Amino acid sequence: MKTELLPDRLITIREQQGLNKSQAATLIGLSPIGYLRYEQGLRLPSPQMLEIIALKLNTSVDYLTGATDDPSADQLLISRKENQELFEILMEFQAKDPAAANRLLTYASKLKKKSIG
Q: Where are the domains of the chain?
A: 3-65, 84-116
3-65: in CATH 3.90.79.10: no
pLDDT tops 70 at residue 117: no
Q: In this predicted model, which residue has the larger pLDDT, 28 or 90?
A: 28
DSSP state of 46: P
Write the CB contacts of 6 (distance below 8 Å, at least 6 apart in sequence). 38, 41, 44, 45, 64, 65, 66
**How high is the pLDDT of residue 9?**
96
Full-model pTM? 0.73
